[in-house]
Chains A and B, each alone.
Chain A
Amino acid sequence: MNNEVLAKMEDLALVSFDEAERESVLTEMAEVMACLDAIKAADAEGAEPMIYVQALENVFREDEVHEFPRIDDILENAPDEMEHQFVAPPTFD
């Protein structure tokens, strides 16, 4: 764990830590990474990854339209709304 890895974490997750807390975050993350080394070191030869907890398969929905009745309540949550749309800073260059 170093500044570079921390910067990568911030970049990927789109979060940033205050300058003042960086030092302690680094220490904490180093502790966490040390704990995770158990996984890196574990012998998982031949073990299948367990992605799904239950043995479910083929869970489907029929192709039938059910429109959501309260669309305005979705948009009501937006910090900024214009013409029934969400508003973001410009994305076009």
Chain B
Amino acid sequence: MEYEVVIGLEVHTELATKTKIFCSCSTQFGGGANTHICPGCAGMPGTLPVVNKKVIEFGIAAALVTNSKINQYTTFDKKNYFYPDLACSYQITQLFHPICVDGSVEIETSQGKKTIGLKQIHMEEDAGKLKHDPFTDSSLVDYNRSSMPLLEIVSKPDFRSAEEVVAYLEKLRSMLKAIGVSDCKMQEGSMRADINLSVRPLGSTKLGVRAEMKNMNSLKSITRAIEYETARHIDLIESGNAHKLKQETRRWDDEKGKTYAMRSKENAQDYRYFPNPDLPPIVISDEWIERVRQSLPELPEAKFARYTQVLGLSEGDSRLLTGSKVLSDLCDHCIQAGIAPQTAANWITGEVMNLAKNDGKLADDLVLRKESLAKLIGLVEKNVINRNTAKKVLAEVYHKDVDPEEYVNANGLAMVSDKGAIEQMVKDVLAANEKVVADYKSGKTQARGFLFGQIMKQAKGKADTKLINELLNEQLS
């Protein structure tokens, strides 16, 4: 029999705010344990939450880019459970009136385009971190992460393969990064996914028994876990052991490549959600939504369309450039500075990317002052330096952050474009190499290259090549 896997995703993304969601502690990553805490996020009595306005704005932004319906009356609730990483023994989250519902995200896989439905997105606080101390066999509790702002993006069970899941996560990541809502670094845990998975015979409309895998934080382990869990379900069904499938939470062990059932305590919990009376409701006006919409930067998809259709760049160049905010920012700045789109694209996809590669950096991590790049390309366009010189200067700009103009001037790299001076050099070289000139005139065309080289040598590499060629042609004819 053929089967299909049905997957729903709950994605948690940590928001790129300066402060936590309910207190003014810094969200800075790293630093020692419990260095960004206060009585509030450490769960002391007598403390009260106050909402960070930026979190609401990020929530609105996320709603807009996922075509969600914004709940203009949104509230916070308490979700109760005991665990040492949860300082108050409740998590402030949204159940009854989440910030938005009914969104969608379009993905593209080898099977073509597909729309994934979103049930809702809600705002909530993160828990702290636990670290096992093997010497005392205890858990050490660090509340730096406690009360960090999160968006939980809950999809409908619309995925039918690991490939779709990965495409969706990548799409979410690129969108949320582009609008500055989250940096979505999976390895640092700022984007994590809970996977709900079940298997059913192809064609059936009834859902199978669901397993949940929590806190997955790499695309590779997500793919492996989905494949493993799908196979496990099919095996049990095929071997007549379908009754052994339980609705449960399972832990993915990346080293062993297997999932394990968690203890039953983690299952069947009654979270006793109720509205948090400490936090008055939030009313989102049409004007507020419009203000956020106006402030949204261009999304990668729209940018791609602009690069191909308006700027006339190839799909390949456009994909590369719009795939990274750093590259597209460089490109857009150069164009704004008056450089032709294709010229800017060539420099960035060529020389700039080469420098980054040799430096062991990904496009998004490369650091290059966009003003400097535009200036440098401008110098070439205005024939102040030639392309070869420009490459050398770019390396200096990249490694030492020099100003290209100042560098060219200080090192005397500007081209000799005084026609009289070059004419004199051409004459001198031809006079000193009468034999070669004769060779050329007798048909040895390669002799011309030698002459050109000698002239450029006299000009110390800084002559306008076009001008040399013109004058050389004149003198030789």
Chain A residues engaging chain B, CB cutoff 8 angstroms: 12, 14, 51-54, 56-68, 71, 74-75, 77, 82-93
* Sample of 11 A–B contacts (CB below 8 Å): A62-B53, A71-B35, A74-B44, A75-B34, A82-B133, A84-B35, A85-B140, A86-B34, A87-B141, A90-B137, A92-B132
Pick out which of these stretches binds chain A: B62-70, B272-280, B366-374, B415-423.
Answer: B272-280
Minimum C-beta distance from B468 to chain A (A): 59
Counting contact residues on chain B (CB < 8 A from A), the size range is 35 or more
Interface of A is mostly: loop
Are A52 and B53 closer than 8 Å at their CB atoms? no
The verdict on B383 contacting chain A, using a C-beta distance below 8 Å, is no
| Distance A14 CA – B53 CA, assembled complex (angstroms) | 35
List residues of B (34-71) whose CB comes within 8 Å of A's CBs.
34-39, 42, 44, 50-54, 56
Instruction: Given A58-B283, A86-B140, output 5 extra A-B contacts at Cβ < 8 Å.
Output: A52-B277, A59-B50, A68-B39, A71-B35, A85-B33
Say yes or no for B2: interface residue by CB 8 A criterion.
no
Determine whether B114 belongs to the interface, using a CB cutoff of 8 Å to chain A: no
Assess A59 versus B140: contact at CB under 8 Å? Given A65-B24, A68-B39, A71-B37: no
B136 near A91: Cβ-Cβ < 8 Å: no
- The residue in chain B whose Cβ has the minimal distance to the Cβ of A77 is B44
B26 within 8 A of A: yes
Question: In the complex, are the beta carbons of B37 and A63 less than 8 A apart?
Answer: no
Specify which of A64, A77, A91 is in contact with B83 (CB 8 Å cutoff).
A91
**Are B132 and A90 closer than 8 Å at their CB atoms?**
yes
The winner among B33, B263, B277, B283 for most chain A CB atoms within 10 A is B33
Question: Of the candidates A66, A75, A84, A88, which one forms a contact with B138 in the assembled complex, judged by CB atoms under 8 Å apart?
Answer: A88
Whether the Cβ atoms of A58 and B282 lie closer than 8 Å is yes
Are B19 and A63 within 8 A (Cβ)? yes
A50 to B345, alpha carbons, bound, how many Å? 60
In the assembled complex, the Cα of A14 lies from the Cα of B84 at a distance in Å of: 14
Interface centre among A12, A54, A58, A89 (most CB of B within 10 A): A58
Chain A residue contacts of B37, Cβ below 8 A: 68, 71, 74
Are B17 and A85 in touch, CB under 8 angstroms?
A: no
Is B203 positioned at the interface, with any CB of A under 8 Å from its CB? no
Indicate the member of B44, B75, B281 with the most A CB atoms within 10 Å.
B281
Q: Which residues of the other chain, A, contact B283 by a CB distance below 8 angstroms?
A: 57-58
Closest beta carbon of chain A to B363's beta carbon, Å: 29
Distance (whole angstroms) from the CB of B61 to the closest CB of chain A? 14
Known: A74-B42, A84-B33, A88-B84. A65 touches B133 (CB 8 A): no
Q: Compute how far the CA of A36 lies from the CA of B33 in the bound complex, rounded to whole angstroms.
A: 46
- A51 nearest CB neighbor, chain B only: B275
Q: Given A74-B44, A88-B84, A91-B130, are A61 and B139 also a contact pair (CB < 8 Å)?
A: no
Contact A63 B17 (CB under 8 A): yes
B291 on the interface (CB 8 Å rule)? no
Contacting residue for A61 out of B26, B52, B270, CB 8 A:
B52
Q: How far is the CA of A77 from the CA of B143 in the complex (A)?
A: 15
Contacts of A87 in B (CB 8 A): 136, 138-141
Residue from the list B19, B32, B44, B272 in contact with A64, Cβ < 8 A: B19
B258 interfacial contact with A, CB 8 Å: no
Query: How far is it, in angstroms, between the C-alpha of A9 and the C-alpha of B59 when the chains are bound?
Result: 36
Closest 4 CB pairs of A and B: A68-B38, A60-B53, A88-B84, A63-B54
- The smallest beta-carbon distance between A33 and chain B, in angstroms, is 18
Cβ of B82 under 8 Å from chain A:
yes
B126 within 8 A of A: no
Asked whether B150 is an interface residue with its Cβ less than 8 Å from the other chain, the reply is no
Question: Which of A54, A61, A67, A89: most chain B CB closer than 10 A?
Answer: A61
Inter-subunit contact A63/B52 (CB<8 Å): yes
B25 at the interface (CB under 8 A from A): yes
Chain B residues with CB under 8 A of A86: 34, 84, 140-141, 143
| B42 surroundings in chain A (CB, below 8 A) | 74
Task: Point out the residues of chain A lying under 8 angstroms from B124, CB to CB.
Answer: none
Q: A74-B42, A88-B141 are in contact. Are A68 and B280 (CB under 8 A)?
A: no
